[in-house]
Amino acid sequence: MSLFLDLSAVQSVPAANLNRDDLGSPKTVRYGNASRVRVSSQSWKRVIRHGVEEDLGEKAARTRQVPVKVRQALQAQGWPEELAEFAGAQVAASAGKKGIGTEKGGHTSVLLFLPESGLEELVEVCVEHRDALEQNLGKKKPPALLPADRIEEILKRRTASISLLGRMLAELPGANVDGAAQVAHAFTTHAAEPQRDYFTAVDDWLGAADTGSGHLDTSEFSAGVFYRYATVNVDDLLANLGGDRKAARTVLGSFAEHFLLSLPQAKKNSTAPHTVPDLAYLAVRTQRPLSLAAAFETPVKDKDGQGGFARASRAALAAYAGSLNRLTGDRHRPFHGHAAVDDPTADLAALGTAHESFYGLIDAALDAALPAGGQA
């Protein structure tokens, strides 16, 4: 029986464009026959990943630029440009039985996901085999010249964020990693649509008699209260980390913190939408994960005439959780608790034990999922 950590949050975001579509508009989804503003899981997952990597001091890169970066590093060491470019291409050609394809510009045909420290090791391999590279430079169909097993070992190496979020690389057998974390698309708890903003930029050096602006355009933004959800399969995380419980607890705690406190950075300079959740709800489950998104299938409405959706959204989440608790009999859930802004009118008992801070809530969830020095 697997163990899961479920994370839910209700977060109010003012005018912003956290995640744009191909036309620059905030993304949307229709749910409960109402249009909602949406933030994709990929957008939020990226900023969470960067936060986890910063915490743990082991950055990784999801990139197609490995051959290019190898070329640049070798050129910085004094290699001729043509030889350095050939060496970078050989890194891709020597990986796996058939190599990894490269395209115009030198980048790989697929995204790689590897520790940033791996780049230095790939450069070292090229330096060690410089003679073979020089001897085959200029050949129309040179063979793979770098040791495949060593190149593969570097490209297949894992970091905590790879163990957490997974990696897909079909070109290298054994490189795929099934991620332990799943992140849902965030969406507004109420009906919402993007709005247009007409703006101008003043030319500071226009003469006194000149009129008009230096630039004018329109952009789109949105505002609303979002429901956010993620879940981590604790057993999968442990397996990906080789059974290291201490490391798993550290990674899980970092993920939980950045899930609650991170924010996609799109258009941050013109909107500064730096809020945190009004409500966080964490639950440890032993049968299957459980999203509370259906609490908002019926769009939240302003019921008290005071305006706003945040308070009503917190109430809706608690009410729905209470209904699920009744249906499931509170089974397969050794822990649940919440932390929320002060609200004397709120009844959040269905969300478990109240905690003063996000950090206290996270620590309590970790103690239930991965007790320090003990068994979950």
Q: Which two tokens stand for residue 190?
A: 């109420």
Angle at 342 (CA atoms; ends 339, 347), nearest 5 degrees: 75
Q: Which of 260, 245, 291 is nearest to 6 (CA)?
A: 291
Q: How far is CA 76 from the centre of its chain?
A: 33
Q: Which of 172, 154, 289, 314 is nearest to 235 (CA)?
A: 289
The SS3 assignment for 259 reads helix
DSSP letter, residue 299: P
Q: Which two tokens stand for residue 105?
A: 């510009």
Phi, psi of 101 (to 5 degrees): -65, 150
Q: Which of 224, 221, 227, 226 is nearest to 194 (CA)?
A: 221
Residues 325-346: pLDDT tens digits?
Answer: 999 998 999 999 999 999 888 8
Average pLDDT, the chain: 92
pLDDT the model gives residue 182: 97
Angle at 316 (CA atoms; ends 315, 320), nearest 5 degrees: 120
pTM of the complete model? 0.91
Instruction: Give the largest Cα separation in the chain, rounded.
Output: 79
pLDDT the model gives residue 374: 58
Residues 163-194: pLDDT tens digits?
Answer: 999 999 888 888 899 999 999 999 999 999 98
pLDDT the model gives residue 207: 74
What stretches in the chain show pLDDT beneath 70? 304, 373-376
Q: Which of 316, 367, 309, 314 is nearest to 338 (CA)?
A: 314
pLDDT the model gives residue 215: 78
Please report how the helices 81-93 and 66-76 are oriented relative to each other, as an axis angle in degrees rounded to 10: 140
Work out the percent of the chain whose per-residue pLDDT is above 70: 99
Q: Which two tokens stand for residue 300?
A: 């939240």
Please give the single-letter amino acid code of residue 11.
Q
pLDDT the model gives residue 373: 63
Distances (CA, A) of 189 to 186, 223, 309: 9, 11, 8
